């Protein structure tokens, strides 16, 4: 954990000593200042509740909760869910953390089978197999899972 925190310190600053990471979740984590900027923009645009699809260690979840959104964080990886739950609580924030498959959740939202939310955050470019393969305007290059997420997202997201 000490090694992971030393790697995390430049990006996570003062929060580092309260957060838990694994090598994989630290590798997948976005930069907190970028997540905070995204969260601020979403809330300025009227977002009240959001889903963090593929939460890893909770960087986006934390930023959204700090900005004032009601957040649901989802991931299939039980370690990622535990880390997100710990990290959110360690910073005195709240979020629901759930076991869910991102592709299935997007399909359920598209079909109206899940409660409505104002926004969803998804960073497929940082996931294994699709690294660096998408842009917000063009979407992803063909890959095993992110294309179905991209094309299946409801317009309101």
Residue pLDDT, tens place only, 74-111: 998 999 999 999 999 999 999 999 998 877 777 776 77
Q: What is the pLDDT of residue 104?
A: 76
Cα 138 from chain centroid (whole Å): 21
Query: Which pLDDT tens digit goes with each residue over 110-144?
Result: 776 666 567 888 765 444 444 444 444 444 444 44
Residue 9's H or E segment, with its range, is: helix 2-12
134 Cβ contact list (under 8 Å, min separation 6): 124, 125, 140, 141, 146, 150
Q: What is the pLDDT of residue 103?
A: 75
pTM above 0.85, yes or no: no
Residue 24 phi, psi dihedral angles, 5° rounding: -65, -45
Query: Which pLDDT tens digit goes with each residue over 20-76?
Result: 988 888 887 888 998 999 999 999 999 888 889 888 889 999 999 999 999 999 998
Judged against a pLDDT cut of 80, whether residue 17 lies above it is answered with yes
Q: What is the pLDDT of residue 95?
A: 95
Q: Count, in order, helices (H) and strands (E) of the chain.
A: 7, 6
Q: What is the pLDDT of residue 124?
A: 54
């Amino acid at each position: 954990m000490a090694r992971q925190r030393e790697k995390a310190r430049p990006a996570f600053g003062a929060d580092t000593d309260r957060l838990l990471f694994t090598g994989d979740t630290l590798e997948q984590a976005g930069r907190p200042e970028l997540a905070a900027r995204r969260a601020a923009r979403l809330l300025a645009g009227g977002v009240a509740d959001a889903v963090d699809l593929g939460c890893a260690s909770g960087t986006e979840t934390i930023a959204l909760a700090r900005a004032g959104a009601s957040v649901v964080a989802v991931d299939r990886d039980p370690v990622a869910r535990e880390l997100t739950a710990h990290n959110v609580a360690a910073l005195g924030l709240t979020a629901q953390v759930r076991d869910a498959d991102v592709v299935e959740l997007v399909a359920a939202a598209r079909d109206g089978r899940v409660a409505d939310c104002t926004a969803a955050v998804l960073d497929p470019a940082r996931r294994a197999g699709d690294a660096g393969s998408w842009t917000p305007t063009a979407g992803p290059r063909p890959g095993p899972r992110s294309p179905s997420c991209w094309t299946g997202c409801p317009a309101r997201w």
